[in-house]
Amino acid sequence: MLYWYTYLVLVYVFRAVFKRAFFNGVQHLAPGKPVIIAANHTNAFLDAVLVASQVNRSLNFLVRSDVFNTALKRFFLHALHQIPIYRQRDGRDALTKNEETFKKVYELLEQNRVIMIFPEADCFPIKRLRPLKKGTARMAFGVMDKNNWDFEPYILPVGINYTHHTKLRTEVMVGFDKPISIKDYEDLYKENPAKATNQLTQDISEGIKRQLIHIPEHLETISEQLLTVYRSNLLYNPINWRRDDNSRLSEEKMVIDKVTETATKDDVKLAEIKEKATKYFQILAEQNLTDKAFWAAANSKKVNLLTYLFAPIFFPVYLLIKPIWNYINRFVEQKIKKGEFKLSLKMGLTIGFYQVFILIGLAIFWPLYGFWWAVVGLFLFWLLSWGAILFIEAHQANKLVWNAKKWKKSNSEEFKSADELRAELVDFLP
């Protein structure tokens, strides 16, 4: 019950947390089949709930054991289908408890359920896949051994990509790769279990990478700068929050492939691009502008004044939710040091405040108008809240474009110089 209630809440909360989301390959999660979802791990519990909230099957999650440290936590975590997994850092004695965990996983798979695991084991907010642990492959072969290989589960590699790991209103891209049949490894496993384990682990890694924007560490800065330029040319309808295609993921991967290839074949060319990008973004920082606003001014894009027709509707709601959003951001940025927890906690606090509004709304409107009218009122409030977020984002974008246009008029030579730098970056993009 708690799982499906949380599922319903997340469907609505995600529209506030994320600016837009892209999903592809969700159809690979076939109904009624035993599945192990293996995904990269960059954003604490947000990775798990993000995948779970966008599929129509109940998921069971393998979670590090140290979070099950109180009776209350264990109650809620079990209610949300969490299963403890013990790691080497937990000690040799703790590792023996994994026998019970594996037994539980095998039972769930035999019931045609879905297991989600993060085979990197740890969580770091980076845009690249780290080496995978072999536990996923061992678990897969363990359930096959238990059933004498007369069983047909599969592994589904998943790549989760955030444009920014810590910021609210970021974008997210989730790709489900083609399923890997565990039964296909039967002959290799019976011949050499270690070799089969290594091969399956490698195949899982390659499947995740196909759905992942994988940026080498030494190319992070220039890659993010070029991705920023690429994204500024994109135009989306803000109402159309979810998109089911892989075009955005494919195009961002092409940008990174171009950077990586140039670093390998023509390091002089890449050095020139790095120098131009550094100079261009330094100019923008001095003017307190975004690349998107500069692009709009350079291309004589008009400010969208239609936005302000909705101000009487959305602005009062914005005044109500703005202090909450400010508090959430300030609290998390001040109290949480590790980047992999920031966005997850921001989402968690958003859910918490949303629950408070639900309880207050029901307490006030249910006795006056009845339960269903109270539910309708809460839905309208959520709709207005989302509209208020979109309204203020449009207003802030307009302000930046106005400032860029003013700069263009007041210092045309400097603006032109920046425009030429940006043009060279655009020419470099694939």
Angle between helices 311-335 and 339-369 (to 10 degrees): 140
Q: How far apart are CA 102 and CA 85, in angstroms?
A: 9
Crossing angle of helices 247-265 and 267-286, rounded to 10°: 120
CATH number for the domain spanning 188: value is: 3.40.1130.10
Predicted local confidence at residue 62, as pLDDT:
84
As for how many domains the chain has, the answer is 2
The Cα 412–Cα 368 span in angstroms is 61
**207 shares its domain with 234:** no
Which stretches of 218-266 are DSSP H helices?
220-232, 247-265
Single residue among 214, 249, 270 that ends a domain in this structure: 214
Return the number of other C-beta atoms located less than 10 Å from residue 274's C-beta.
Answer: 18
- Whether residue 326 sits in one domain with residue 372: yes
Q: Encode the chain (430 residues) as per-residue pLDDT tens digits.
A: 666 667 677 777 888 889 999 999 999 998 889 999 999 999 988 998 889 887 888 888 887 766 666 777 667 667 677 777 776 665 566 656 777 888 898 999 999 999 999 999 889 999 999 999 999 999 999 999 999 999 999 999 999 999 999 999 999 999 999 999 999 999 999 999 999 999 999 999 999 999 999 999 999 999 999 999 999 989 888 888 889 989 999 999 999 999 999 999 999 999 999 999 999 999 999 999 999 999 999 998 887 787 888 888 888 888 888 898 899 999 999 999 999 889 988 988 888 888 888 888 888 888 888 988 888 888 888 888 888 999 888 899 999 999 999 999 999 999 999 999 999 999 999 9
The reply to whether 233 and 366 lie within a common domain is yes
- In terms of residue numbers, what domain contains 319? 221-430
Q: Which of 214, 232, 260 is the last residue of a domain?
A: 214
pLDDT at 87: 65
- Do residue 367 and residue 411 come from a single domain? yes
The per-residue pLDDT for 162 is 96
Q: 166 and 95: one domain?
A: yes
- Is the domain of 189 the same as that of 252? no
Q: Give me the residues paired with residue 62 across strands.
A: 83
Residue 216 three-state SS: coil
Contact 109, 115 (CB under 8 A): yes
Q: What is the C-alpha separation between 77 and 68, in angstroms, rounded?
A: 8
As a whole number of angstroms, the distance between CA 42 and CA 208 comes to: 13
293 with 203, same domain?
no
On whether both 244 and 210 belong to a single domain, the answer is no
Kindly state whether residues 365 and 263 are assigned to the same domain. Answer: yes
Question: How far apart are the two ends of the chain, measured CA to CA in Å?
Answer: 48
Domain finish residue from 191, 214, 237? 214
Amino acid at 290: T
* Per-residue pLDDT at 77: 65
Same domain for 311 and 202, yes or no, is no
How much is the pLDDT for 63?
A: 78
DSSP state of 29: S
Whether 243 and 118 share a structural domain? no
Residues 157, 225: one domain? Answer: no
Do the Cβ atoms of 40 and 46 come closer than 8 Å? Answer: no
